[in-house]
Amino acid sequence: MILALVFACGLLAGFGIYAIVSSTPGETALYTANAPEPIGPYSQAVQCGDYLFMSGQIGLDPATNNLSGTAAGEARQAMENLQAILAEGGLDFPDVVQTRIYLTDLADFDAVNAVYAEYFNEPYPARATMQVAALPKGSRVEIEMIANVR
């Protein structure tokens, strides 16, 4: 009887550990018509656990599919696109914990930074800004974000 009880407890514990180890958090792709259609095989954003990972947005106007022609204009539209994606997930800029900005010319840093600053208040998210050789569709700016789903 005791041996059967020990065996049953061991079996139940084994199944419990297996359920914990083998379970993975679900991933949910997010999409909004208020931001441009992805121009490749990727999602606008993916929620995984407590975080929303937003794909990089360039300054494409979702209505016209055109770029503005200036780094500041592209940054503003990229931020508007990201705001639309955040809103689709029930979030806003205070939920953002990290951003990355890609520029084709670091000479545009000040103009892009001024636009970026309009969308955030302290405490600011962690951020990296880097110069890259080129961006899709000849854009000057791309911005990606990670937000905490609270």
The answer to whether residue 17 scores a pLDDT higher than 70 is no
The answer to whether residue 108 scores a pLDDT higher than 80 is yes
- The pTM of this model reads 0.83
pLDDT band at 6 (very low <50, low <70, confident <90, very high): very low
Q: What is the mean pLDDT of the chain?
A: 88
Query: Which string of DSSP letters, residue by residue, matches 132-146?
Result: -S--GGG-SEEEEEE
Domains of the chain: 25-148 (3.30.1330.40)
- pLDDT for the residue numbered 25: 59
* CA dist list (Å): 106 to 1, 139, 141: 75, 14, 10
How does pLDDT run across 28-87, given as a tens digit for each residue? 999 999 999 999 999 999 999 999 999 999 999 999 999 998 999 999 999 999 999 999
Phi, psi of 111, deg, nearest 5: -65, -45
